Amino acid sequence: MFFHIVLERNMQLHPRHFGRNLREHIISKLMKDVEGTCSGRHGFVVAITSVENIGKGLIRDGTGFVTFPVKYQCVVFRPFKGEILEAVVSMVNKMGFFAEAGPVQIFVSNHLIPDDMEFQSGDMPNYTTSDGSVKIQKDSEVRLKIIGTRVDATEIFCIGTIKDDFLGVINDPTTI
């Protein structure tokens, strides 16, 4: 699920950036530092939309670096248990398959794949129904439901299922 929230961060800036473009420097460094990171609490930071306010800088003793408290608005993506996501399959093996929904990695184990789909090994491993009408392989798009998340301080990993109504392949790359 996506959220638009306000976060705060202390930015350390080298003295050489002090000048007319101080604000721009702070913002570009903030984007470089924050976008694409993941915190267990808020999820993945997708994009910074605006900077609300930059506080007074504090000069660090000894180094000359200055710390600015920065408040910024950003879009975060946080997967939840029970959420339905669309994801792209990144790897298929006999234990199941891995899929990616943006920055999130999701593992679907083979017993959460419908019983009528069988694993086919080969140079393009895949899961196929007995009549061959549905095939899950690398780069397939699937709709899945998250049934468990592991949230660490710096990463989020999910397991999903496609064994439910309206879940499964939504777009097969070979038919395009």
The residue ranges that bind other proteins (CB under 8 A) are 91-96, 98, 105, 107, 109-112, 115, 121, 125, 147-150, 157, 159, 161, 163-164
Closer to other proteins by CB, 65 or 107: give it.
107
Q: How far is the CB of 21 from other proteins (least distance, A)?
A: 41
Tokens of 36: 């694409």
Q: Is 16 exposed, middle or buried (0-12, 13-18, 19+ CB in 10 A)?
A: exposed
Least separation, in Å, of the C-beta of 132 and other proteins? 19
Smallest distance from the beta carbon of 22 to other proteins, in angstroms?
41
Q: d(Cα 52, Cα 148) in Å, to the nearest integer?
A: 35
- Which residues face 108 on adjacent strands? 97
Instruction: Give the per-residue SS3 of 107-172.
Output: EEEHHHCCCCEEEECCCCCEEEECCCCCEECCCCEEEEEEEEEEECCCCEEEEEECCCCCCEEEEC
- Cα→Cα distances 136→26, 68, 77, Å: 45, 49, 26
In the complex, the smallest distance separating the C-beta of residue 105 from other proteins, rounded to whole angstroms, is 6
- DSSP-assigned beta bridge partners for residue 148: 159
Cβ-based nearer residue to other proteins, 66 or 126: 126
Q: How far is the CB of 146 from other proteins (least distance, A)?
A: 11
Nearer to other proteins, 71 or 138 (CB): 138
Token representation of residue 49: 């939309």
Pick 25 or 138: Cβ nearer other proteins: 138
The residue among 35 and 164 lying less far from other proteins, judged by its C-beta, is: 164
